Homo-oligomer: A and B are copies of this chain.
């Protein structure tokens, strides 16, 4: 038999994954789960691709602010926008979630959904990570791609459940992760259907619809999927409630946390400007969640 997870070193983490898949796919076993109930949910930033030093979508927002600035001269007088334009990321991020939402609204709304998709695709085709100088889509974790493939080969349906914008992820998630748009769940803004020159369009509005983080994740899972996952994968306290919801199911389940421990090949941190891994790490042993040590458990990191 070929190893389905060659980038995973032999050890407790890999074994826990293999055991879990065997448990739920062995027919006539008490832990068997029928294929239509094999739902697996993955956080994106920090779980499937690099989120350090900040979310890829934050790089996108900052680049969009710079690109749009000539149309909005008033931005130079507004502290938040002025910080971004000066390249002062620290000040811009100091405003926390509220500031980020304001920047997102200024850059993610006012166009049709088709136009926004094109903007995201164009940007991702050339934008580079500041440290590695790689394309962001080259900074996905190869062991996690193997895991996605392995689960799908065992009739799992794989979903992204991310705090990131849903329309920011969909243009590339299918090609990069093999996850089609209808299985991408994320934060979203409101939209409006309208006719323009007798052609229907969907216009993006500068108003938050849903913020898919923390308590929002299990609520979104119920809202969009309508079925409890039997496997959930995350890397921070933003994923804690998704892991809790998954583990509270009646049958076998797998919870897994990717821990960033490799300062040579990636970055080593539990806390970053983007979030922290603290409560979920405390709860992990009680809940039997697998904690992946990237340095020791993965023999290769990037795809």
Identify the A interface with B (CB < 8 A).
36, 39, 113, 157, 159, 166-167, 170, 174, 180-184, 188, 191-194, 199-200, 202, 209, 215-216, 218-219, 222-227, 241, 244-245, 248
A226 near B193 (CB under 8 angstroms)? no
Please name all residues of chain B whose beta carbon is closer than 8 Å to the beta carbon of A184 when the two chains form the complex.
226
A113 near B202 (CB under 8 angstroms)? no
Closest to A202 in B: B222
Question: Given known contacts A166-B226, A180-B227, what 12 new A-B pairs fall within 8 Å (CB)?
Answer: A36-B174, A157-B182, A159-B182, A166-B223, A170-B226, A182-B182, A182-B226, A184-B226, A191-B223, A193-B219, A200-B248, A224-B224
A200 near B157 (CB under 8 angstroms)? no
User: Complex Cα distance A159/B226, Å?
Assistant: 14
B248 near A199 (CB under 8 angstroms)? yes
A219 near B248 (CB under 8 angstroms)? no
Please name all residues of chain B whose beta carbon is closer than 8 Å to the beta carbon of A36 when the two chains form the complex.
174, 180
How many copies of this chain? 2
B181 near A241 (CB under 8 angstroms)? no
Q: Could you tell me the distance in whole angstroms from the C-beta of A282 to the nearest C-beta in chain B?
A: 15
User: Complex Cα distance A174/B35, Å?
Assistant: 13
B222 near A191 (CB under 8 angstroms)? yes
Q: Could you tell me the distance in whole angstroms from the C-beta of A43 to the nearest C-beta in chain B?
A: 16
User: Complex Cα distance A73/B36, Å?
Assistant: 43
Please name all residues of chain B whose beta carbon is closer than 8 Å to the beta carbon of A167 when the two chains form the complex.
226
User: Complex Cα distance A181/B159, Å?
Assistant: 14
Which of A36, A194, A226 lies at the interface centre, i.e. has the most chain B CB atoms within 10 A of its CB? Answer: A226
User: Complex Cα distance A159/B167, Å?
Assistant: 20
Please name all residues of chain B whose beta carbon is closer than 8 Å to the beta carbon of A227 when the two chains form the complex.
180-182
Q: Could you tell me the distance in whole angstroms from the C-beta of A240 to the nearest C-beta in chain B?
A: 10
B192 near A215 (CB under 8 angstroms)? yes
The 8 closest A-B pairs by CB, nearest first: A181-B226, A193-B215, A182-B225, A170-B226, A193-B218, A200-B244, A202-B222, A181-B227
Closest to A244 in B: B200
User: Complex Cα distance A194/B218, Å?
Assistant: 10
User: Complex Cα distance A167/B227, Å?
Assistant: 11
Please name all residues of chain B whose beta carbon is closer than 8 Å to the beta carbon of A226 when the two chains form the complex.
166-167, 170, 181-182, 184
Closest to A173 in B: B226
Q: Could you tell me the distance in whole angstroms from the C-beta of A41 to the nearest C-beta in chain B?
A: 11
Please name all residues of chain B whose beta carbon is closer than 8 Å to the beta carbon of A219 when the two chains form the complex.
191-193, 202
Q: Could you tell me the distance in whole angstroms from the C-beta of A263 to the nearest C-beta in chain B?
A: 34
Please name all residues of chain B whose beta carbon is closer than 8 Å to the beta carbon of A216 when the two chains form the complex.
193
User: Complex Cα distance A96/B197, Å?
Assistant: 32
B182 near A241 (CB under 8 angstroms)? no
Please name all residues of chain B whose beta carbon is closer than 8 Å to the beta carbon of A170 when the two chains form the complex.
226
